[in-house]
Amino acid sequence: MITRAALIHIPKSNLCYAYDRKTLHIRVKALRGEIEKAYCRIGDPFDWERGGGGGNLEASGASGWHHRLIEMKLEATTEYHDVFFASIERPTKRSRYAFLLEGHEETILFGERRMLTLDGSPAADAQLNDLGNYFCFPYISEDDVLTVPAWSKNTVWYHIFPDRFCNGEPSNDPENTEPWGTEPTRDNYMGGDLQGVTRKLDYLSELGVTGLHFCPIFKGLKNHRYETLDYFQIDSIFGGDSAFKTLVEKAHARGIRIMLDGVFNHMAAAHPFFQDVLSRGKASPYFDWFHIDQMPIKPGTYETFAYSASMPKINFECQAAFDYFIGVGVYWVKTYGIDGWRLDVGNEVSHDFWRAFRKAVRKENPEVLILGEIWHDALPWLRGDQYDAVMNYPLMEACARFFAYEAITAETFKRKVDTYLTNYPKGAVEAGYNLLDSHDTSRFLSIAHGDSSRLILAYVFLYAFPGSPAIFYGDEVGISGEKSDESERHRRCMIWDESKWSRKIYETLKRMGTLRADDPDFRGTEFEWMDFAGDDGLAFRKGALLFLINRGHENRVFEAPKTEVAEQAEQRFEDQFTGETVSGLGIEVLPESFRILRYMG
């Protein structure tokens, strides 16, 4: 029998949502290997051949319900479940639906209130018209549809820690600036600025970068600038407002988008607002801006980011604070034309605030990307009313365990990836920010013990994966460095001496950027696993492209299956890197390498 307890479906979630104004995406989960075929029986609850005024309930006296039977495809396989999927364009915006599931020599109807065996009896057939047992998607409201900027699906992000990328104007260096390339600490400065980024725009364009993601650049304390002192001013050590204006204009002229880091969960304790509270207590107009538990105010009496007394947490139940940060979000979009906000510690800020933030920012510019920093399951923020997407830390962790540590098999890696793909609406996946490392983590090359092949394989996967790949500055030239309580080496200065670059990494990422820009299949969002026997091989298809990745230390041979396009015994592919034509049967992949091939029909 089909295991009833393993069947999962929740309307208005990642398992059923409006992809656009006319299309529903519907998923159902079943125990792995139990369902042979899955169908979605769907229609408008009021659309009957006769009667149907009460069709939203039991349709008493009605007959001939107009419905469609849609075969669902096996979209993904997670650790415990097969996930079946259907994209259904609806002639109306109202839907009732249930699932017909075939397997283990039985067919069942899976509805909202009960599961029934369909054995052909009159009693069972009658249940097919009992819409009271059907799941309901009451109406596709346009405000509830997750609409992501089209450009965000095809972006190659480059993540910059401003103090460490390039020093373009030494005259604005802090007094304690140290020589470029000095061992980084939490407190020292290297002089990187926005003028330096502007000088390197040609370099970034040649690398294939189409979006710049900055760590905070507002006036603040510390070299990381996450302790903000003024949300309406670019820090003078980065060149000030004028340098930022120039950067945005020149980047946009090259087709490069700009995304700022919004640190709205907390601010610096040295910020004038908090200082006013410290000096005036409850008499301060900013007292309610913060979570203050008791008087007198001292470390431990107010809430903070983590346990850092230097970063008091903002209270968004205070309307003045709420309105102030909405204003910050709109200001940088309106005044400088930024293209996106990356929202720091976004999961600790109220959902009401993010709903208002989205409306205000999108009113100013409907094409602004709203990206959250969330390290765990982010579905509550991705229902169409808050974020467009999040930083893909689950994929980062899976890539680290598979490519760098070799701690999991290819099968386990695929299950982790499939879990991510089905945990969110497709729009959020398509706009996802896919990373291997960041200013908050050790460099991938360090956890891979300096093995550049492993970094390359991981980046190839990232570039091919649905969503947008993100390069942490310097990964492309082989910068390594670990993060720990004692180490800040992951934030080392960018290397501009090309003789010290890893040309192998650089040329591969540059080539990936070109392929992604030029090949629609490469940047497409449809992704299908293929069989590649063993624990070390990954094979997947995107359109006519075939990706083969061999993490292992021995040659591997991929046996290409027959397809609908190629019924001949032998398939032919063109290698995207060498241009040679290879046999589709028995494609060899060398150790710690990859191949990307296009089918030659």
Catalytic annotation, residues: 344, 373
Tokens at residue 509, please? 């990422």
Mind giving me the DSSP string for 489-525? GGGPPPP--GGGS-HHHHHHHHHHHHHHHH-TTTT-S
Beta strands 545-550; 556-559: pairing state: unpaired
* Residues 334/341, Cβ–Cβ less than 8 Å: no
Tell me how far apart the alpha carbons of residues 392 and 372 are, in angstroms, rounded to a whole number: 10
Distance from C-alpha of 480 to C-alpha of 492, rounded to nearest angstrom: 8
CA 175/CA 559 separation, integer angstroms: 62
List Cβ neighbours of 145 (8 Å cut-off, separation of 6 or more).
Answer: 18, 19, 20, 21, 384
Distances (CA, A) of 269 to 307, 310, 317: 13, 5, 19
Spatial contact of 38 and 15, defined as CB atoms under 8 Å apart: no
Taking phi over 0 as left and psi of -120 to 50 as alpha, with beta for the rest, 451 belongs to: beta
Angle made by CA atoms 257, 262, 267, in degrees to the nearest 5: 155
Q: Give DSSP secondary structure letters for 411-460.
A: HHHHHHHHHHHHHS-HHHHHT-EEES--TTS--HHHHTTT-HHHHHHHHH
DSSP conformational letter for 154: G
Place of tokens 């360090």: 446
d(CA 345, CA 348): 6
Signed CA dihedral, 511, 513, 519, 522: sign only? positive
Q: Environment class of residue 277 by beta-carbon count within 10 Å: exposed (0-12), middle (13-18) or buried (19+)?
A: buried
Q: How far apart are CA 446 and CA 467, in angstroms?
A: 25
- Give the torsion sign (CA, 47, 51, 56, 59): negative
Residue type, 471: I
Q: Which residues contact 51 (CB under 8 A, 6 or more apart)?
A: 59, 61, 62, 63
The residues with which 234 forms a beta bridge, in sequence order, are 218
Hey, what are 68's tokens?
């469609």
DSSP assignments along 6-37, one per residue: G-B--SSBTTEEESSSSEEEEEEEEETT--SE
